[in-house]
Amino acid sequence: FHDPCQIARRGGVVEAPRVVLNALGAQVHEMKDNRGMNWCCGGGGGVISIHRADAIRYKAFQIKMRQVEDTGAEMLITSCSNCRLSFDDSQAHFHWDKTAHSLLEAVADNLDDTPAKPVAPTAIVNPYREAPAP
């Protein structure tokens, strides 16, 4: 799993994607530097659209490619569309054999389309949200 800069470092969301992947039955292969210490994919903040930054962006992506390769994972998943664009572009540039997949698509691919039985409404508790201050 690739932890996107904006979601992991700025947003602090690092465990929830792993919980979702584990619930889907995926075996998460962690990169050497992960969660808040993960390397950028090279396309953060929309840098992929600034073509004069291509050289440095590809240099950053080479670090990310090595990280991914070192995990031995068969599939690369991320939860950021900018990261997906960066992975797709860099995959073509480096003729890399890995394809980035969306966490959302992984969830959608595993949805059961049989009609659910009606249940009584219940409160949903988000275990990742901090409790309000007293």
Q: List the chain domain ranges.
A: 5-109
Q: Does position 130 have pLDDT exceeding 70, yes or no?
A: no
d(CA 134, CA 121): 27
Higher pLDDT, 87 or 131: 87
Q: Does position 93 have pLDDT exceeding 60, yes or no?
A: yes
Q: Does position 133 have pLDDT exceeding 60, yes or no?
A: no
Give the global pTM.
0.76
Q: Mean pLDDT, the chain, as a whole number?
A: 86
Three-class DSSP category at 77: strand
State the average pLDDT over residues 117-122. 73
